[in-house]
Amino acid sequence: MTTTLKNKHDAILAAALDLFADNGFHCAPISQVAAMAGVGVGSIYRYFKDKDELVHAVFAKVDDSLLQSITTSKDPTLSGRCEFIHLVTALIHYLDTHPQEYKFFEQYYNSPYGLENKRAKFLQENIADKSNPFLNIFSDNKNCLRQDLTLPVYLAMTFGPVSFLLRESLSGLVTLDEAMIQQTAEASWNAIKA
């Protein structure tokens, strides 16, 4: 029934997230996803046309929950600097405490799967739509930021260090504590502030 159907659908997505994140797309056979989801192999093809569609569905779900988690923690009374640091630390916290999601993102964006989405996000970013809170900060605080830098540099100085640190953390090479996260966010701000 609908409830059963929904549950299987979600079970498949959850299992796929775990296995894709841990093993990569090509080392996570559908049979394994089915086994972990407690579902027959054939059932996966009832819910998803093929493996590609499953991958994109997992991305859509994970992307959605990340965006929600980041945007809900926003506080509009803060200064630009505080808002920025708050947002960066929230992002790092979310991804560091959701390693499966982060590992999936890395896999996805570094594969042909993610290219179209990446392009779409970037175009979104250029028109500064409301779905990316960082872009609002950049445009709301133009006077606090170095004017000679272009948007790609803002993005590089913001997301580059985040991505780098999270990778090291996931590899077990670094343990992220409150201080290190705070320092990274501050350093990012120092990199782009006027």
Residues that bind DNA (CB under 7 A): 1, 4-5, 8, 26-31, 38-43, 45-47, 50-52
Residues 58 and 16: beta-carbon distance below 8 Å? yes
Q: Please identify, using beta-carbon distances, which residue of 13 and 135 lies nearer to DNA.
A: 13
Nearest to 150 by CA among 116, 119, 117, 125: 125
> Applying CB under 8 A, does 89 fall inside the site for a second copy?
no
Site string for a second copy, 117-136 (x = CB under 8 A): -xx--x--------------
The token pair that represents 29 in the structure block? 């056979």
The token pair that represents 6 in the structure block? 């929904």
Closest contact distance (angstroms) between CB of 33 and a second copy is 17
Helix, strand or coil for residue 158? Answer: helix
Residues 114 and 55: beta-carbon distance below 8 Å? no
Residues 162 and 88: beta-carbon distance below 8 Å? yes
Partner whose binding site includes residue 89, from DNA, a second copy, none (CB under 5 to 8 Å by kind) = none
Using CB under 8 A as the criterion, which residues of the chain lie in contact with a second copy when the complex forms? 24, 26, 106-107, 110-111, 115, 118-119, 122, 146, 148-150, 152-153, 155-157, 159-165, 167-168, 171, 173-174, 180, 183-184, 187-188, 190-192
